């Protein structure tokens, strides 16, 4: 009996040692409270400012200083959406604007994924997320301009698709249009609310006509700024292409800043975020900073 008991003990010990030697399943603790901001910094001449460190940034939420726990300045993949005007008025410039949008994609990170939404009388997803440039070219070339301008419906469709299907945490939409929304079922207020509830940066390139310019510029600027993006209003297609290429470079050189809010209550409220950038010592640069100025705290 003693020999049998010793054998059982030895077997149990061997089993424990084997279990310790076997690789354990990998687990990652993700802090769901982490808030990440993608911050663009340019000087007074619109030149990208690199070389900044964590100490150059100060972040507040609802006026309370936050401790920066994540700081990166690297080219990370982006989920992109091209939201392109397909109304009849765009037809004379469509081929060149399509080429400019493709140039925007080419200058982005090679691991980016891109989808295409066209809008005229309505909005539709013409190409789901892909990394294949010929597929994007095919989708743009196949679209024939007609009808009116459903910008708001297109943005809601693109935001919804981005939130449901994007693979990357960093997300951006490029909206290209030449006019004022005149047929959408959605209202500007609905779009602004959806933008604030998303984590998607929107870049607007608006080639606006003189009779619609002021009103359209106001609404498009509100949309871009609510997302932490920018709105550009070029004079011609060449300038539009230049803005798109600049934006592609800016996306690749953004700073990523993360923090865990000191106020941890999940109550669905709006949290105001401010980022202050301190120029490097010994410089007198005037810095312009683009970022999302707030977010809705998730409900419990």
DSSP string, 225-268: HHHT--EE--SSHHHHHHHHHHHHHHHHT-EEEEE--S----S-
Helices (DSSP H) in the chain: which residue ranges?
2-21, 94-106, 133-142, 151-165, 188-197, 213-227, 237-252
Say whether 68 sits in a helix, a strand or coil: strand
Identify the pLDDT of residue 6. 54
Residue 114 lies in a domain: yes
Are residue 128 and residue 243 in the same domain, yes or no?
Answer: yes
Range of the domain at 46: 35-73+263-296
Same domain, 139 and 171: yes
DSSP 181-216: --S-SS-HHHHHHHHHHS-EEEEEEE---TTTHHHH
Asked if residues 252 and 74 have their Cβ atoms less than 8 Å apart, the reply is no
Whether 161 and 220 share a structural domain: yes
Q: Is residue 285 part of a domain?
A: yes
118 and 197: one domain?
yes
The pair of three-digit structure tokens given for residue 138, joined into one six-digit string:
């095919």
Kindly state whether residue 9 falls inside one of the protein's structural domains. Answer: no
Identify the pLDDT of residue 32. Answer: 61
Does some domain include residue 218? yes
Parts of the chain with a pLDDT under 50 = 2-5, 7-12, 16-31
State the pLDDT at residue 33. Answer: 86
Report yes or no on 6 lying in a domain: no
Q: What is the pLDDT of residues 32-68, one digit of tens each?
A: 689 999 999 999 998 999 999 999 999 999 999 999 9
3-state DSSP assignment of residue 52: coil
177: β partners? 206
Are 140 and 155 found together in one domain?
yes
Residues 187 and 96 grouped into a single domain = yes
Three-point CA angle 131, 132, 138, nearest 5° = 130
Please indicate, yes or no, if residue 290 is contained in any of the structural domains: yes
Q: How many domains does the chain have?
A: 2
Question: Same domain, yes or no, for 64 and 188?
Answer: no
Q: Are 170 and 240 found together in one domain?
A: yes
Give the tokens for residue 37.
Answer: 């901001």
pLDDT of residue 31: 47
Q: Comparing C-alpha atoms, which of 202, 205, 213, 209 is closest to residue 245?
A: 205
- Phi, psi (rounded to 5 degrees) for 203: -105, 125
Predicted confidence at residue 242, as pLDDT, reads 96
Q: Based on the fold, state whether residues 230 and 137 are members of the same structural domain.
A: yes
147/235 Cα distance (integer angstroms): 23
Distance CA 150, CA 153 (A): 6
* One domain, residues 224 and 185: yes
Whether 18 is in a domain gets the answer no
Q: For residues 228, 233, 238 and 243, what is the CA-based torsion angle, rounded to 10 degrees?
A: -20
d(CA 122, CA 90): 15
Question: Could you tell me the CATH number of the domain that includes residue 158?
Answer: 3.40.50.410
Cβ neighbours, 10 Å, residue 167: 11
- Would you give the end-to-end CA distance of the chain in angstroms? 60
Same domain assignment for residues 58 and 171:
no
Residues 209 and 286 in one domain: no
pLDDT value for 7: 47
Q: Is residue 14 part of a domain?
A: no
Q: Measured between alpha carbons, how far is 33 from 142 in angstroms, rounded to an integer?
A: 43
Res 264: pLDDT: 85
C-beta separation of 255 from 52 below 8 A: yes
Q: What is the pTM of this model?
A: 0.87
């Amino acid at each position: 009996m003693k020999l049998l008991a010793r054998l059982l003990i030895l077997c149990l010990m061997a089993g424990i040692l084997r279990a310790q030697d076997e690789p354990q399943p990998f687990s990652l603790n993700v802090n769901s409270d982490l808030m990440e901001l993608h911050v663009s910094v340019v000087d007074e001449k619109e030149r990208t400012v690199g070389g900044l460190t964590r100490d150059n940034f100060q972040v507040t939420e609802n006026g309370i200083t936050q401790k920066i726990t994540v700081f990166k300045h690297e080219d990370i993949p982006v989920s992109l959406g091209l939201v392109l005007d397909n109304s009849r008025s765009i037809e004379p410039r469509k081929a060149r604007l399509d080429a400019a949008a493709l140039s925007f994609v080419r200058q982005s990170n090679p691991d980016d994924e891109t989808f295409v939404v066209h809008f005229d009388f309505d909005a539709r997803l013409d190409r789901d997320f892909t990394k294949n440039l010929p597929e994007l070219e095919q989708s743009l070339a196949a679209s024939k301009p007609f009808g009116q301008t459903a910008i708001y419906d297109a943005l809601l469709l693109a935001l919804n698709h981005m939130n449901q299907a994007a693979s990357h945490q960093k997300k951006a939409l490029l909206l290209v249009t030449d006019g004022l929304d005149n047929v959408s079922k959605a209202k500007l207020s609905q779009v602004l609310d959806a933008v604030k509830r998303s984590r998607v940066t929107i870049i607007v390139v608006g080639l606006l006509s003189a009779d619609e310019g002021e009103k359209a510029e106001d609404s498009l600027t509100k949309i871009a700024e609510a997302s932490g993006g920018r709105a550009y209003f070029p004079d011609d297609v060449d300038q539009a292409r230049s803005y798109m290429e600049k934006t592609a470079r800016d996306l690749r050189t953004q700073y990523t800043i993360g923090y865990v809010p000191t106020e941890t209550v999940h109550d669905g409220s709006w949290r105001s975020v401010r980022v202050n950038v301190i120029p490097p010592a010994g410089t007198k640069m005037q810095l312009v900073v683009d970022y999302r100025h707030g977010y809705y705290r998730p409900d419990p």
